Amino acid sequence: MIKIVKNALIEWNRVYDSHQKMQHAYLLMAAVLTLVTGGFTLADNSIKETSLFLVQVLLGVFAVNLLAMAILKAFVFDRLAKLRSTKKSK
């Protein structure tokens, strides 16, 4: 079982870049915190509200990061790649 998990993590590390890994981490943290919040509903309402706020913050950071990376990839990274290719061809 440990070997399967280790191989899956190695493959995940090989396939995804650092930005995608960070996005996966945000979503995983939000999912885990949502599950923990479900347990807090039995104990205290204020803790539940605080943890739900943290989930919303994580999802907001995820959305802003996703939008920023999409803009960077669309406008900046493409232009940098074109500039590098023209410099190398000269």
How do residues 43-83 score in pLDDT, each as one tens digit?
777 888 888 898 899 889 989 998 998 888 888 877 777 77
Q: Which domain holds residue 73?
A: 2-89
Provide, rounded to the nearest whole percent, the portion of the chain with pLDDT above 70. Answer: 96
How many other CB atoms sit within 10 Å of the CB of residue 47? Answer: 14
Give the residue from 59, 50, 51 showing the smallest Cα distance to 26. Answer: 59
Tokens describing residue 61? 């950071």
How many domains in the chain? 1
The reported pLDDT for the residue numbered 89 is 63
What is the pTM for the complete model shown?
Answer: 0.65
Model confidence band, residue 5 (pLDDT cutoffs 50, 70, 90):
confident
Are 61 and 26 within 8 A, CB to CB? yes
